[in-house]
């Protein structure tokens, strides 16, 4: 998996590499139609296509599709929301490539990539190594969710707290404490009317299958059912809760012959202020 020379990365940071490797494998090797086409993931990784293919070959179909499916749901929701929001906050951005893929199509949309400082430094260095140009609309926001104030760090990078925004928080909550999760949701729920968040959870049953993909990385900290997350979102101030239902997600898997199956315990939900 990706190297970390000169920048000390932890096991938590390596989960971002895993997510990118799954997206890269889907883009390079999954059958058409792709659930999600991340055309930059394989470039951002310090891995060959053969290494990416070998890594993905060890992952069961339900886990293999998790990252592509959640990213598709999130970016479909973002596309629909662009008429009412002009700020996009990516919490735990990892190797997210939305801004690179969109380029000039970002127009006036400001993208705030929020992540742990060491990993963000690694990503920025990697983009430079590849000779890629980060769009001028991107703002890098270094933040440790457990110890730093998200509100303060965003403000330092020009985030307009009085304007609506779209927020994604994908593949992160399982590594945080409930207190940290509630605090971030509280901040999100206090955004102006029309703001929206897409957040993922790993439901309690996921504990039974975690070893299939995570044995070599890090244990999960928190398992949250969709019912509990819905309660958290309501308590945080969101008025419309719209889960990514299994029926809707299942549409992406009809007729597939590449072994991809619907994730069993990873779920996503959208909520609007």
pLDDT single digits (tens) 215-258: 545 678 899 999 999 999 999 999 999 999 999 999 999 999 99
Contact by Cβ (8 Å): 135, 102: yes
Contact by Cβ (8 Å): 224, 179: no
**Window from 84-88, 111-115, 259-263 with minimum mean pLDDT:** 259-263
pLDDT tens sequence across 177-212: 999 999 999 999 999 999 999 999 999 976 655 555
Which helix (DSSP H) or strand (DSSP E) does residue 110 occupy? strand 110-115
Q: Which residues are registered as beta bridge partners of 87?
A: 110
Contact by Cβ (8 Å): 9, 29: no
Confidence of residue 148 (pLDDT cuts 50, 70, 90): confident
Per-residue pLDDT averaged across 108-125, rounded? 94
Distances (CA, A) of 150 to 36, 92, 113, 179, 195: 29, 11, 12, 14, 16
Q: Is the pLDDT of residue 151 over 80?
A: yes
67, two tokens: 């990252």
Confidence of residue 7 (pLDDT cuts 50, 70, 90): low
**CA-wise closest residue to 169 among 112, 208, 118:** 112
Contact by Cβ (8 Å): 189, 238: yes
Q: Is the pLDDT of residue 4 over 90?
A: no
- Percentage of the chain with pLDDT > 70? 90
Q: Which residues are registered as beta bridge partners of 208?
A: none
Q: Is the pLDDT of residue 265 over 50?
A: yes
Contacts of 74 (CB under 8 A, 6+ apart): 168, 170, 198, 268
What 8-state DSSP symbol labels residue 32? S
Per-residue pLDDT averaged across 45-73, rounded? 93
Topology adopted by domain 61-272: Rossmann fold (3.40.50)
pTM of the model: 0.92
Average pLDDT of the chain? 91
d(CA 27, CA 53): 11
Residue 11's pLDDT is 64
d(CA 8, CA 211): 25
* Residue boundaries of the structural domains of the chain: 61-272
d(CA 243, CA 226): 8
Residue 41's pLDDT is 97
Residue 134's pLDDT is 96
Helix locations, the chain, DSSP H: 11-29, 41-44, 49-57, 61-64, 66-81, 98-102, 117-129, 150-156, 178-189, 211-214, 226-236, 246-250
């Amino acid at each position: 998996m990706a190297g970390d020379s000169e920048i000390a990365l932890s096991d938590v940071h390596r989960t971002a590499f895993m997510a990118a490797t799954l997206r890269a494998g889907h883009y390079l090797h999954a059958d058409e139609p792709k659930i999600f086409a991340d055309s930059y993931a394989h470039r951002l990784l310090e891995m060959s296509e053969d290494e990416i293919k070998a890594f993905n070959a060890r992952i069961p179909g339900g886990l293999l599709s998790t990252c592509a499916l959640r990213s598709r749901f999130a970016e479909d929701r973002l596309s629909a929301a662009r008429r009412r929001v002009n700020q996009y906050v990516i919490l735990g951005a990892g190797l997210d490539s939305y801004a690179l893929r969109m380029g000039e199509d970002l127009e006036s949309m400001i993208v705030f990539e929020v992540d742990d400082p060491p990993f963000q430094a690694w990503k920025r260095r990697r983009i430079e190594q590849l000779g890629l140009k980060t769009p001028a609309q991107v703002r890098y926001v270094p933040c440790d969710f457990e110890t730093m104030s998200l509100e303060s760090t965003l403000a330092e990078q020009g985030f307009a707290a009085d304007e609506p925004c779209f927020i994604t928080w994908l593949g992160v909550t399982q590594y945080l404490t409930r207190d940290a999760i509630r605090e971030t949701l509280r901040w999100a729920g206090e955004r102006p009317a029309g703001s929206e968040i897409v957040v993922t959870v790993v439901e309690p049953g996921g504990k039974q299958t975690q070893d299939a993909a995570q044995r070599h990385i890090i244990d999960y900290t928190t398992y949250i059912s969709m019912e509990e997350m819905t309660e958290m979102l309501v308590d945080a101030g969101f008025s419309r809760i719209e889960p990514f239902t299994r029926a809707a997600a299942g549409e992406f898997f009809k007729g597939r012959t590449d072994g991809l199956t619907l994730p069993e315990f990873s779920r996503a939900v959208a909520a609007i202020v």
